[in-house]
Amino acid sequence: MTTHIYDIIGDVHGMYDPLCSLLEKLETSLKQESADAEYRLIFLGDIIDRGEKQKETFTLVRELVEQKKALCLLGNHEYNAIMRALHLRTKHDAVHEVFLKSFSNPETYQEAIAFMKTLPFFVELPLFNCVHACFNEPQLSLIKPYLDKNNVALNDEIFVKSSKPKLNKGGIKALYDAVEIILKGPEIDLPDGIYYLDKDGTKRDSARTRWWQEKAATYRDIVMWKDEELLQKLKKPLPLDFHATPLLKPVFFGHYWLWPEGTKVSLKDCELAKDKAYCLDFSAVMGGTLTAMRVCTDDEKILKKEVFAVKTNGD
């Protein structure tokens, strides 16, 4: 029976030095694992934007992928970069400026965008799945016709048709929604009069949901907030048509800007739904930790899960 080792890394966001430290940790620990195991390194997307060493980070990940040493998924930031390059996204995005300056040479920029187009939207493995934000089977079924057998875009059609219909006549609302959910997570409209300011200070009246929360009954159960005053306002029943996303097997994802309960990231911090949902984004670019999980399996079951993390605040 074959043993498999997967090292899965959460959102990097241009944090080159912590990434190098994390990869070194993984490599050192890997020497203690079975020499006969099949090994795979997986990045969950959002390699670019926000951090100061985006070109170095992007180049490193690209080299690992092109050398067949790693797999990198498409994150919402790579998707947004593609949409901007195709003139399908006109909104000024301040967090993308460092990337644009780093790749100011037109030829280098186009090569970077071309590489992003080769990143799969998700990956399905025998015992678990990986996606940037949300593994939702009905939504994935809407995008699969536009993808090849490796879940990579066949051509630019999926980008054109998943652009906002109001801004582009080629856009398809259902496809736009599907890509939004898969790469950014599902949102729910809040009850009338309730709003919040997101991390960039924008006023919002819809909220990202804990899509893995299968037994949610109220808005409070599913919104991604910690503000107790706001949460008190959300002790209201969810709409009758609300459904959590069922998970047929474990899924690993990033995107959700979590923070560890203590000074280190533990398996408990990552495991959002028992044996089903694992988030590896612990706000590396905001002074949190760059986090990875090692998943060891045989051909039939997951044998072990272990967390590796590098603090990014200098402590």
Cα angle 187, 139, 156 (rounded to 5 degrees) comes to: 105
Q: What is the CATH code of the structural domain delimited by 4-185+247-311?
A: 3.60.21.10
User: What is the rounded average pLDDT for all residues in the chain?
Assistant: 91
**Reported confidence tier of residue 315, pLDDT bands at 50, 70, 90:** very low
Q: Is the pLDDT of residue 7 over 80?
A: yes
Angle at 31 between CA 28 and CA 35, to 5 degrees: 155
70, 41 Cβ separation under 8 angstroms? yes
CA distance 190 to 61: 38
Q: What's the confidence (pLDDT) of residue 196? A: 79
Give tens-digit pLDDT for 233-247.
Answer: 888 999 888 877 888
> Contact at 8 Å (CB) between 239 and 253?
no
Cα 159 from chain centroid (whole Å): 18
CA dihedral 83, 84, 85, 87 (to 10 degrees): 90
Name the percent of the chain lying above pLDDT 70: 98
The band of 9, judged by pLDDT with boundaries at 50, 70 and 90, is very high
Chain-centroid distance of CA 85 in Å reads: 21
Q: What is the pLDDT of residue 76?
A: 97
* Angstrom distance (rounded) from CA 150 to CA 119: 9
- Using the structure block, give the residue that is written with the tokens 């195709």: 86
| Range of lowest pLDDT (15-19, 42-46, 97-101, 203-207) | 203-207
Contact 71, 43 (CB under 8 A): yes
Our measurement of the distance from residue 37's CA atom to the centroid of its chain's CA atoms, rounded to an integer in Å, reads 26
With 50 as the cut, is the pLDDT of residue 314 above it? Answer: no
SS (H, E, C) 123-186: EECCCCEEECCCCCHHHHHHHHHHECCCCCECCCHHHHHCCCCCCCCCCCHHHHHHHHHHHHCC
The pLDDT tens digits for 257-311 are 998 777 789 999 999 999 999 999 999 999 999 999 999 999 999 999 999 999 9
Q: Alpha-carbon distance 147 to 222, whole Å? A: 31
What residue segments make up the domains of the chain, in order of their start?
A: 4-185+247-311, 187-244
pLDDT for 199? 66
Q: Max Cα separation, the chain?
A: 59
pTM, entire model: 0.94
Residue of 244, 248, 306, 299 lying closest to 276 (CA atoms) = 248
Of 22-31, 196-205, 242-251, the one with minimum mean pLDDT is 196-205
Beta-carbon neighbour count of residue 253 at 10 Å? 29
Lowest-confidence segment of 29-33, 157-161, 200-204 by average pLDDT: 200-204
Among the listed ranges 51-65, 118-132, 214-228, 292-306, which one has the minimum average pLDDT value?
214-228
Q: Is the pLDDT of residue 225 over 80?
A: no
pLDDT band at residue 167 using 50, 70 and 90 as cut-offs: low
